[in-house]
Amino acid sequence: MNKQGNTYTILYASIMVIVVATILAVVSVALKPMQQANIEIDKKKQILTAVNISSTAADAVDKYAQYIVDSYVTDATGAKVDGVDAFGVDVAAEVKKPAEERQLPVFEARLDDGSVKYILPLYGAGLWGPIWGYISIEADGNTIYGSYFAHQGETPGLGAEIEKPDFQAQFQGKHLFIDGEMKPVAVMKVGQKPLNGAEYVDAISGGTITSKGVQDMIENSLLPYNAFLKTLVK
């Protein structure tokens, strides 16, 4: 075969594409279990952070098993849903559904002092992409104990500040119910207050859209837990 001809060039290129694609497919399959394990470890670290427990990739699995004593899924009526793994629920997909159709994961943590906290997942949209996180609630079903927020691509020094401890710490001690009505914590510009009487934290200076995204995320994610949290309040 003429190595200088078009036929040889096309055949050679086709074989190389097939070989490279095969190698990439094999590597992807081989690494998939490791990638999935890393995703699960990172998720466990995030859940633990929401109850102010620091962890690393090396000890997150053990700490999760130590502190997360139960997990389950509820529906909008507050009733538990049997046969659904809370850890495996795709929260990003659930928040797009009507509240009455959602699967609502709950993670129960028991801390070293014996106190119980309820950790609820959050998911929403920032300026440049998705934002997500977890909020932990005291056993009274009302008081925020801790929080964790993360983002995919918010602007460093602006919207990306939602992942910083200083911003997250503002939520500690805030309440979700005001006079018996659920009013999720608002994120407001400095000097402003929500008109509905909800408790609030200061928005990020220069990160208005991301701050609004956090507020919308909290409201959209937590309102469906209204019935469940009221069972704790009682």
E-strand ranges in the chain read 68-74, 80-81, 104-110, 116-125, 130-137, 144-151, 177-178, 181-182, 186-188, 200-202
**pLDDT, position 5:** 59
The model's pLDDT over 145-160, given as tens digits with 9 standing for 90+, comes to 999 999 988 888 889 9
**pLDDT, position 31:** 60
Instruction: Answer whether 0.95 is exceeded by the pTM.
Output: no
User: Which region holds residue 141: left if phi is over 0, alpha if psi is between -120 and 50, else beta?
Assistant: left
The model's pLDDT over 1-14, given as tens digits with 9 standing for 90+, comes to 555 656 767 777 77
Query: Is there a contact between 101 and 61 (Cβ–Cβ < 8 Å)?
Result: no
Q: How confident is the model at residue 15 (pLDDT cuts 50, 70, 90)?
A: confident
Q: Does 22 or 185 have the greater pLDDT score?
A: 185
Q: Where do the structural domains in the chain lie, given as residue ranges? A: 47-233
The model's pLDDT over 219-229, given as tens digits with 9 standing for 90+, comes to 999 999 999 99
The model's pLDDT over 165-220, given as tens digits with 9 standing for 90+, comes to 999 999 999 999 999 999 999 999 988 999 899 999 999 998 999 999 999 999 99
The model's pLDDT over 81-121, given as tens digits with 9 standing for 90+, comes to 999 999 999 999 999 999 999 999 999 999 999 999 999 99
Query: Is there a contact between 87 and 211 (Cβ–Cβ < 8 Å)?
Result: no
| 51 vs 147: CA distance, rounded Å | 7
**pLDDT, position 2:** 53
**pLDDT, position 56:** 94
Residue 117, helix vs strand vs coil: strand
226 backbone dihedrals φ, ψ, rounded to 5°: -50, -50
| 75 vs 231: CA distance, rounded Å | 13
**pLDDT, position 17:** 77
